[in-house]
Amino acid sequence: MNKPLRRIAIFCGLLVLALLLRDNWLQYVRADELNTHKLNKRVEIERYAYERGNIVVDGKAITGSAATADTYYKYKRTYTDGPLWAPVTGYASQVFGANQIEKLEDGILTGNSDQLFFDRTMAMFTGDKKKGGNVVTTLNGKAQKAAFEGLGDKKGAVAAIEPKTGRILALASTPSYDPSSFAGRLKDDEKAWVALGKDPDKPMLNRALRETYPPGSTFKVLTAAAALEHGAVDDINAATDTPEPYILPNTSTPMVNHANGCENASLNKALEVSCNSVFAKLGDTVTRDKMVETAEKFGFNNPEIDTPVRAAASVYDKKMDRPGNALSSIGQFNTATTPLQMAMVTSAIANDGRLMKPYMIDQLEAPNLDVIEKTEPEEMSRPLSQENAQLVQQMMENVVENGTGGNAAISGVKVGGKTGTAQHGENNSKNPYAWFISYAKDDNGSPVAVAVVVEDSNARRDDISGGGLAAPIAKAVMQAVLNEKQ
C-alpha cells in the first residue's frame, strides 16, 4: 500500500474508532441523562403508549387508563374519586409530568422497571401486549373516606397509622383536586392546571405530608414522655411544684394558662386540662438538649422520612435559648410538625414505646399479579420505655374520659387523645389551628393512631377548639378502622 492510501486508511480507522467511542458514550455513560432530558419526548410518548398499571386500595384499583384520539399519546390516566385519593396517588399527566406514587413507582406502573424484565421478555415471545404492574397500598378505604368527609369544606389534613406495623391507613388533605382534570393534552387540561396553580388555597399541597404547623398543646404528650424518660417526673399524680403564674426562665414574662387549677398540678391533671405552665416548666427542667434528643427519637429534625413520598421535616429547634425551649415544650415558638409526624408520636405511645417506620406501599405486583416486592414492617426507634409509654397512655385516656377530648370517646373502646390549639402569625394575630391526636385500643392492642389538624377561621383560642373541630374527625377515622377489625 502506498503512503497516501495508508494515511487515508489510518484516518478512516480513527473516524470509525471515534464513532464507536461516541456511540458507546451516548448509549451507556449518558443514557440516563438523555432518557430523562426535558426535550426527549420519546420517553413520554412511550410512557403513554400502553395502559398503566394501577394503584390499589382494599383490593380495588383507584386508577385506570382511557384511550385517547392522540396519535402518539394513546392512553391517559384516569382516577376514581380523584380528590379523595390525590394525597396518596399524586398525578400522572401527559403534559405536566407526575408526582408522588405515580412518579416514584413509574417503572412498575409503566412496565419499564428492571424488576419486570422477565415479563417483558416473555411478552416478546407470546405476542402479548405490554402491561404495567400494580402498586398495592396500605390504605384503608373506609378510614380515608371518613377522614376526607370529616374535613369537608374545611382546610386541613388527617394522617392515620397502624401502630404495630407503621402501615399508613389514611392520608387526607383538603381542599383537594382531581388529577384526572389535567391528565391529557387538551386545552381544558391546561386550563385546569393553571387554575389549580393560581388557587390561593393550594389544593395541590399535600398538607398531611408536606405542610408543617405549630402543634400547640398536642406536643405536650411528647414533653410528658421526655419528662418521664429523663427523670423530671417519676409519679404522674404527684404535684409538680409549678407556681401560678409561672415566669418564663430569664424573662419577666408570665406563661398564660387557659385552664384553671394549674398551680402545682400533677402531670396527669396538667395534661387533662392542658396547663401551659406545667409543661413549659418541665421542658426547662428536662433542658433543651434532652428535649431535642427525645423529639428526634420520635422523628423530628429528620428530612428523610419516606413513605415512599418524602415528608417535610418536622422541627424542634436545636439552638434556641431557655425561654424558647420552654415555649417549644408546649408546641409553640419554632416547633413545627406535619400531621404525619404527630401521628407517629401517637403511634409510638400507643405501641408501648416502639415507633415503627411509616409506609404506604404494601407490595408491588407484576402484570400477572405475582408479588415482586413486599414491604416488611421496620422498627424506627424506641423514644420511650414500655413503662413510660403506658403512663402516657393513662394520661391520654384520662384526657378523653375526663378532660378536653371527650368528643373522641368510643363506647366499649379505650381511646387516648390530646387536644391542641396552635397560635400563629405575628403576635398570634392569625386564626389558630385546631389539633387532635388520638389512638383507639381494644383487647389486641391499638389498631390505629390518628392526627388531625384543621385550619379553621372559627377556631377558638383554647384547647376546646381542638376537641370541638378535630376530635370528631379523629373519632370517625378510628371508628372506621375498628369496624373493619370486627
Domains and CATH numbers, the chain: 209-368+377-485 (3.40.710.10)
pLDDT of residue 114: 78
Known catalytic membership, residue 181: no
Q: Which of 437, 434, 455, 433 is nearest to 446 (CA)?
A: 437
pLDDT of residue 342: 98
pLDDT digits (tens, 9 = 90+) for 335-392: 999 999 999 999 999 999 999 999 999 999 998 888 999 999 999 999 999 999 999 9
Q: Cα 270 vs. chain centroid, distance in angstroms?
A: 29
pLDDT digits (tens, 9 = 90+) for 266-312: 999 999 999 999 999 999 999 999 999 999 999 999 999 999 999 99
pLDDT digits (tens, 9 = 90+) for 103-131: 999 999 998 877 766 665 666 555 567 78
3-class DSSP assignment, residue 459: coil
Rounded Cα gap, residues 351 and 349, in angstroms? 5
pLDDT of residue 207: 97
Q: Which of 232, 240, 278, 281 is nearest to 258 (CA)?
A: 278
Rounded Cα gap, residues 443 and 87, in angstroms? 32
Q: 325 pLDDT band (50/70/90 cuts)?
A: very high
Compute how many other C-beta atoms are within 10 angstroms of the C-beta atom of residue 336: 22
Average model confidence (pLDDT) across the chain: 90
Rounded Cα gap, residues 15 and 351, in angstroms? 68
Cell numbers at 212, concatenated: 408543617
Residues 6+ positions from 408 with CB-CB distance below 8 Å: 400, 415, 417, 436, 438, 467, 471, 472, 474, 475, 478
Using a pLDDT cut of 90, give the percent of the chain over it: 75
**In the predicted model, what is the mean pLDDT of residues 17-34?**
69
Rounded Cα gap, residues 103 and 414, in angstroms? 40
- Strand 430-442 relative to strand 371-374, pairing: unpaired
Residue 471 has pLDDT above 60, yes or no: yes
pLDDT of residue 38: 59
Of these residues, 65, 93, 217, 274, which one is catalytic? 217
